[in-house]
Amino acid sequence: MHLTRLITAAATAATLAAAPLTASAAEFINVLTGGTSGVYYPMGVAMSEIWGKGIADSRVQVQATKASVENLNLLQQGKGEAGFALGDSVQMAWEGNEEAGFKSKLDKLRAIGAIYPNYIQIVAAKDSGIASLADLKGKSLSVGAAKSGTELNARAILGAAGMSYEDLGKVEYLPFAESVELMKNRQLDATLQSAGLGVASLKDLATSTPITVIPVPADLVGKLGGAYLEGNIPAGTYTGQDADVPTAAVTNILVTHDGVPEETVYQMTKQLFENLDTLKAAHAAGNSIDPAKAAENLPIPLHPGAERYYKEAGILK
């Protein structure tokens, strides 16, 4: 299976990265992802394969993290060369939104490019009786790790619906896989997961537990504004989901920082967009990556290396 080979390649790359580097050195690239049951991780593994093969003398490793907020803080500290993050989290990091988990403006962040959208996927156990956002009142909901990009999305969605955590019966701050395990054991009514379509955790849940995918109506998405767009979870994305479900989407951004050399980021960007088939094979979310839109509507400046590639490719003038 291709994903298995990619994960093996990432493990090999991580081992190589741990080895002593020579002075002329190998270019070290640490890819900050998310939990292993999400989409960031397999996409990061695929990128590690692309960059490990395509960038001369590179040493690439993949690091599982708590995703967006942690990734952005680590990049600001120079503890990674590339990281996945949700567009609204990136904007709040650039503004230094302390409530969102950023103690000050993260001014070293630079964009490699916009990639695929995350979809806000609110899934309830069918026997919970939850069929709408309003039905979440008095129920238990997992909103992702505290101050993660997913949790920021949860606050925004509930707020637009005129609700808050106080309206819920119980709030759990858990990663995707742990949320699913609680639902399987009937210890949790619903989970909100911000991820690419077909995320492994929800696929796993749907194969063993009858589910209901909760809609986020278009008028509510309009209230959110900013980085949020109307989205759609197509029928059949998960077992038992027999109709399209409207929801909100947020663009993911691949982020780096201003301390990474221009040539390195140029090669990272070039290799990424010239090997999209590898990303598509790693996860269906890769099908949504459009190089023509990669430099659009970014809340932070492009890294000069990425900008150079987009100009060379005719994407930017």
pLDDT in tens, the chain (317 residues): 444 444 444 444 444 444 333 333 578 999 999 999 899 999 999 999 999 999 999 999 999 999 999 999 999 999 999 999 999 999 999 999 999 999 999 999 999 999 999 999 999 999 999 999 999 999 999 999 888 899 999 999 999 999 999 999 999 999 999 999 999 999 999 999 999 999 999 999 999 999 999 999 999 999 997 789 999 999 999 999 999 999 999 999 999 999 999 999 999 999 999 999 999 999 999 999 999 999 998 999 999 999 999 999 999 99
Asked, for residue 76, whether it belongs to a domain, the answer is: yes
Residue 94 shares a structural domain with residue 178: no
The structural domain count of the chain equals 2
Are 143 and 99 within one domain? no
Which domain does 47 fall in, by range?
2-17+26-116+253-312
b/e map of 227-261 (b: 16 or more CB within 10 Å)? bbebbebeeebbbebeeebebbbbbbbbbbbbebe
My answer on whether 158 and 224 are in the same domain is: yes
Q: Is the domain of 160 the same as that of 269?
A: no
Of the three residues 250, 270, 285, the one that is the final residue of a domain is: 250
**CA-based end-to-end distance of the chain:** 40
**197 and 87, same domain (yes or no):** no
Residue 308: give its domain's CATH number.
3.40.190.10
Looking at the structure, tell me whether residues 182 and 166 fall in a common domain. yes
pLDDT of residue 25: 57
Is residue 242 domain-shared with residue 257, that is, in the same domain? no
pLDDT at 243: 98
How far apart, in whole angstroms, are the C-alpha atoms of residue 133 and residue 122?
A: 9
Do 52 and 62 share a structural domain?
yes
Answer yes or no: is 32 within a domain.
Answer: yes
Q: Is 132 among the domain residues?
A: yes
Domain boundary among 206, 235, 250: 250
Residues 111 and 260 in one domain: yes
Q: Which of 233, 250, 267 is the last residue of a domain?
A: 250
Question: Would you state the pLDDT for residue 172?
Answer: 98
